[in-house]
Amino acid sequence: MTVRGIGEIAMHNTDVLRVKAAYVKAPFQVTYREIDLDPPAPDEALLDVLATGICGHDMEIATLLAREPTPFGHEICARVRAVGPGVTHIKAGDQVVLESSSFCGLCADCRNGRADLCRNLVSFWGRPAMGFSPAMLSPARCAVPAEGLDPAVASLAEPCGVALDMVKLSEVGMSDRVLVVGAGAIGLMAAAIIRRRTCGKVVVVDSNPGRLTLARGLGADEVFSRHEVALGELGKQFGGFHKVLVTAPPGVLNAALEAAAYGGIAVFIGFDWGDGGKVAIDTTAMHVGKKQLRASFASPAMYLPEAVELLRTGVVPGEKIVTHRMPLSRLAEALQKVRTDRQHTCKVAILPDELYRA
């Protein structure tokens, strides 16, 4: 049987599912490859993708990391089509979200209660079809039930887990003043969560007015343009921030520490590849100010059940963060939109063409 439209699924024999998965080669060359998906192995799930978010890391892959055509897409909501015989926690028909990597549960770190330190990760990364595909195979272990959520909103569960990692790492207290630097999807979700955890001021800084408007809508008390105020000055204005959450490249870390109160904690996520990742820090100011700097790295992906509940209850209002839905056949256009129109674009969810309604 032939495959016609992009994303069209055809049974190529009784057992194999043929899909057209999107691949990208830097810079921004999107192609579609026919991939045959076998029936799931005993510990696998075969998934019909419902929505996949475009993430900052996808943009890095599309901009420079993909030297060869590479499958991508890791913020995924899907419907289970079939599971292998060893899978018991999900079944065909279930709506799920995927951990982009899962802890193993077997290594010493996992057994010692530190699954967050597991390096024996289980994942769908590197499979020939990932989230930007109408269907994919994944270790079933990565799938977390997410029934009753709009799929595009549910696809925020993975980055919401990253936001949760930052919030937990910051140990935000009930009356802490908190500064969030960078109003991408992760910063915005972190701000929305923190809004419920502290009665202190929540302040968001970004360079883009559109993002600051979003931050206001998510419960930030005050928002400031990075162009108009230095973080250190902002710290003085508010009497110092007990917690500073940075979702921006590391060049901003000294300024973030300046904004922190005596005893403040700055948590950061935001890679810069190459020498941009090397930053000189004023350690004396950290000592005498009793300040801490903590790196967040949400690998393995964790807290997705919490993230699903935050989205389900609207504590994290996913509808405001997903600004666009676009079909898989227009992925190249969607990537350009994310790259060039930060003012109007926050999270873009890619839907299989069959599910997309303009």
Q: With CB under 5 A as the contact rule, which of the stretches 14-22, 72-80, 320-328, 350-358 interacts with Zn ion?
A: 72-80
Which listed residue (104, 286, 315, 332) binds Zn ion by CB under 5 A?
104
Between 156 and 169, CB nearer to Zn ion: 156
Q: Is residue 152 near Zn ion by the rule CB under 5 A?
A: no
Largest CA distance in the chain: 71
Alpha helices in 196-349 (DSSP H): 209-217, 231-237, 253-259, 283-288, 304-313, 318-321, 331-340
- Mapped onto helix, strand or coil, the DSSP state of residue 235 is helix
Does 65 interact with Zn ion (rule: CB under 5 A)? no
Q: Which is nearer to Zn ion, 98 or 261 (CB)?
A: 98
CB closer to Zn ion, 72 vs 103: 103
Contact 7, 134 (CB under 8 A): yes
**Taking CB under 5 A as the rule, does residue 59 contact Zn ion?**
no
Q: Quick check: helix, strand or coil at residue 342?
A: coil
Rounded to an integer, what is the distance from CA 277 to the centroid of its chain?
20
Nearer to Zn ion, 49 or 265 (CB): 49
What sections of the chain are H helices per DSSP? 56-60, 108-111, 151-154, 157-170, 185-195, 209-217, 231-237, 253-259, 283-288, 304-313, 318-321, 331-340
Asked if residues 188 and 216 have their Cβ atoms less than 8 Å apart, the reply is: no
Rule CB under 5 A: is residue 6 a binding residue for Zn ion? no
Which range, of 59-67, 101-109, 243-251, 277-285, touches Zn ion by CB under 5 A? Answer: 101-109
**Restricting to residues 110-139, which ones interact with Zn ion according to CB under 5 A?**
110, 118, 120
Q: Among residues 6 and 110, whose Cβ is nearest to Zn ion?
A: 110
Q: Is 315 in the site for Zn ion (CB under 5 A)?
A: no
What residues make contact with Zn ion under the rule CB under 5 A? 55, 75, 103-104, 107, 110, 118, 120
